[in-house]
Amino acid sequence: MGTPEQDPEQSRPDGFRRVAELLAAQRHAHAPVFLDVAARTAQEAADALGIAVGQIAKSVVFRRKIDDVAVLVVTSGDRRVDERKVAAIVGAVGRADAEFVKAKTGFTIGGVSPVGHSQAPVTLIDRELFRFDEIWAAAGHPNGVFKLSPDELVALTVAPVHDVVQVTVA
């Protein structure tokens, strides 16, 4: 199990440093931490942090078909995004491959942060994140994460909140 460690060093990867600088500039209360293990999935991140998988603010990137713009959906790690719901809000979308994600966001899959993108994506936040007081998001690298609340996520991204996940059967 990985443990988070604070690291202000400039030796960290570019994406992590970019997110750290943005959070500092926004006076975000929690600096990102660099885990000693990669957390490429919501479950890996939750395990490394010792939290529920739903507390992971998972970033899912789609390719908007009409203009090739990245569409970022930030949802709870225990939910699956419903592409039809996303398309109803932003227009038809398709899957984004690793090359598209890196080119449009500046981050590799597994480390896509909700902030600090190289090109501003269309961003949607799923309402399921509001089940939690504390959530954790990727900080620009598979080993990087930062703590925040759902309200802070909305403030940092200036993104609307929607219902964009598949219906779960209890």
Domains of the chain (ranges, CATH numbers) = 4-162 (3.90.960.10)
Q: In degrees rounded to 5, what are phi and psi of residue 84? A: -65, -40
Question: Can you give the pLDDT at residue 169?
Answer: 63
Identity of the residue numbered 145: V
Question: Can you give the pLDDT at residue 1?
Answer: 47
Full-model pTM: 0.90
Cα–chain center distance at 142: 11
| Sequential pLDDT tens for the chain (170 residues) | 444 554 455 578 889 999 999 999 999 999 999 998 888 889 999 999 999 999 999 999 999 999 999 999 999 999 999 999 999 999 999 999 999 999 999 999 999 999 999 999 999 999 999 999 999 999 999 999 999 999 999 999 999 999 999 987 65
Q: Which residues contact residue 135 at a Cβ distance below 8 angstroms, ignoring those fewer than 6 apart?
A: 55, 56, 57, 76, 129, 147, 148, 149, 150, 153
Residue 23, CA distances (Å) to 38, 122, 142, 145, 154 in order: 21, 20, 17, 12, 14
Q: Judge whether 48 and 128 are in contact, CB under 8 Å.
A: no
